């Protein structure tokens, strides 16, 4: 169960699809998801797997409540077709789903994905029932050490949570040779020469694409282009449409329209990683950002905000990339400039970043951990 699934884009949905492919010969998965695009079919098949959608207007509390109970209704209707419920993230949907899982005696696995949201203190603000639902899963998986630490700090049972980071398909997300990079750039309409700095993600205040733009504008000792890949318009609650408008306005005023590239959300996002020269994650709130793993897998030198138990657990400063303090525009500009001015050192950092992903974040490791979690909750039930 996810908040969004292909063709809509969310990190949890992308992760579910990747794991489903990886364990296709070992488990049968079906997908139940909310969706904001009502043009999509309510009943669908993706990669040969059934997908059921419950439509929701994320701006309406009533719609979100109705969708939550709609998800539980789907579970009730299909209860004879599955053995385990695996729910991703915490929101209104968790309460009715947890109640249903308890009454139907279906094992429930919960994955925590989002820093600042999928945490005990944040859930407590929604009341006792929400707190019960948060702790009711038979087993909880957390994508980052920070989320595990938050769980433990709340005094919750350490035996009921496991660290299972996000993973990527390292055959798909891989470095591009110089001639291959040039070919990809021609395909996507980017200039073939000159470094490109890449941002991938929603245009939200937490992800700080505007901070990246201002930092990039500060760089005077090396010319580069800045590419933004991600949703700029509303549809999901965290998107702030004014951010892209402001960047476009300032780009026009500064006369650098040709140097700032905007790309709509893309399923073939690997092409953009493989066409770029550096990746920047300026976020102030993350758990285990999938885009950062994808960039590292593609051998890109990465500049990221240092977030305790999140980005600093994924990459070592100076070895796999560069970590900078949150909201430090000047430090971000210096880090990008340093990476662009020394392409040999940047390439070496990117190679070490890919090796880190191969060792820790390959999708097969994640898939194996999910399967082990499923076996655990099944054997624990009488």
d(CA 173, CA 68): 34
Q: What local confidence, expressed as pLDDT, does residue 270 receive? A: 97
Contact 184, 271 (CB under 8 A): yes
For the chain, residues classed under CATH 3.40.50.2000 are 11-167+363-380, 178-360
H or E stretch covering 141: strand 139-142
Q: What local confidence, expressed as pLDDT, does residue 234 receive? A: 62
Contact 52, 74 (CB under 8 A): yes
Low-confidence ranges of the chain (pLDDT < 50): none
CB-based burial of residue 342 (10 Å sphere; 0-12 exposed, 13-18 middle, 19+ buried)? Answer: middle
C-alpha pair distances (Å), 227 with each of 19, 100, 374: 28, 45, 40
Q: What local confidence, expressed as pLDDT, does residue 264 receive? A: 87
Q: What local confidence, expressed as pLDDT, does residue 236 receive? A: 60
pLDDT in tens, 57-102: 988 889 989 999 999 999 999 999 999 999 999 998 999 999 999 9
d(CA 221, CA 197): 15
C-alpha pair distances (Å), 250 with each of 198, 215, 254, 281: 18, 13, 6, 21
Backbone angles phi, psi at 377, to 5 degrees: -75, -30
Q: What local confidence, expressed as pLDDT, does residue 237 receive? A: 60
| Residues 6+ positions from 261 with CB-CB distance below 8 Å | 190, 196, 225, 226, 227, 228
**3 state SS for 59-73:** CCHHHHHHHHHHHHH
Q: What local confidence, expressed as pLDDT, does residue 255 receive? A: 87
CATH number for the segment(s) 178-360: 3.40.50.2000
Q: What local confidence, expressed as pLDDT, does residue 139 receive? A: 98
User: What pTM, to 2 d.p., does this model score?
Assistant: 0.95
Q: What local confidence, expressed as pLDDT, does residue 128 receive? A: 95
Q: Which bin fits 318, alpha (ψ -120 to 50), beta or left (φ > 0)?
A: left
* Residue 274 token pair: 């493989």
Q: Does CATH place domain 11-167+363-380 in 3.40.50.2000?
A: yes
Collapsed DSSP state (helix, strand, coil) of residue 264: coil
User: ∠216-217-218 over CA atoms, to 5°?
Assistant: 90
Q: What local confidence, expressed as pLDDT, does residue 233 receive? A: 72
Q: Pick the closest to residue 351 from 166, 268, 281, 359 (CA basis).
A: 359
Collapsed DSSP state (helix, strand, coil) of residue 272: helix
Q: Hey, how many other C-beta atoms are within 10 angstroms of the C-beta on 375?
A: 12
């Amino acid at each position: 169960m996810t908040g969004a699934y292909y063709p809509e884009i969310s990190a949890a949905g992308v992760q579910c699809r990747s794991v489903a492919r990886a364990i296709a010969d070992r488990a049968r998965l079906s997908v139940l998801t909310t969706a904001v695009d009502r043009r999509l079919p309510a009943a669908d098949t993706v990669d040969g797997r059934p997908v059921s959608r419950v439509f929701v207007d994320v701006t309406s509390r009533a719609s979100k409540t109705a969708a939550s109970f709609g998800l539980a209704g789907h579970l009730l209707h299909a209860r004879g077709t599955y053995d385990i419920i695996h729910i991703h993230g915490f929101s209104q949907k968790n309460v009715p789903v947890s109640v249903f899982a308890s009454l139907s005696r279906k094992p429930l696995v919960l994955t925590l994905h989002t820093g600042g949201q999928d945490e005990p203190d944040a859930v407590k603000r929604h009341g006792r029932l929400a707190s019960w639902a948060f702790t009711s899963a038979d087993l909880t998986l957390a994508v980052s050490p920070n989320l595990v630490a938050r769980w433990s700090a709340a005094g919750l049972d350490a035996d009921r949570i496991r660290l299972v980071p996000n993973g990527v398909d390292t055959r798909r997300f891989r470095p591009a040779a110089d001639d291959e990079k040039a070919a990809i750039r021609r395909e996507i309409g980017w200039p073939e020469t000159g470094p490109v700095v890449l941002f991938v993600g929603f245009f939200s205040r937490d992800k700080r694409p505007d901070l990246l733009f201002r930092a990039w504008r500060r760089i005077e000792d090396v010319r580069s282009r800045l590419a933004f890949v991600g949703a700029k318009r509303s549809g999901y609650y965290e998107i702030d449409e004014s951010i892209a408008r402001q960047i476009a306005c300032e780009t026009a005023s500064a006369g650098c329209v040709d140097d700032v590239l905007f790309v709509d959300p893309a399923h073939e996002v690997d092409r953009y990683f493989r066409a770029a020269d550096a990746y920047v994650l300026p976020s102030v709130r993350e758990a285990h950002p999938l885009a950062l793993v994808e960039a590292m897998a593609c051998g890109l030198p990465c500049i990221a905000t240092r977030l305790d138990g999140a980005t600093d657990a994924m990459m070592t400063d100076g070895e796999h990339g560069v970590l900078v303090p949150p909201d430090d525009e000047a430090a971000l500009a210096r880090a990008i400039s340093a990476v662009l001015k020394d392409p040999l050192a940047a390439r070496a950092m990117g190679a070490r970043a890919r090796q880190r992903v191969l060792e820790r974040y390959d999708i097969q490791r994640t898939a194996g951990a999910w399967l082990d979690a499923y076996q655990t909750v099944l054997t624990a039930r009488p």
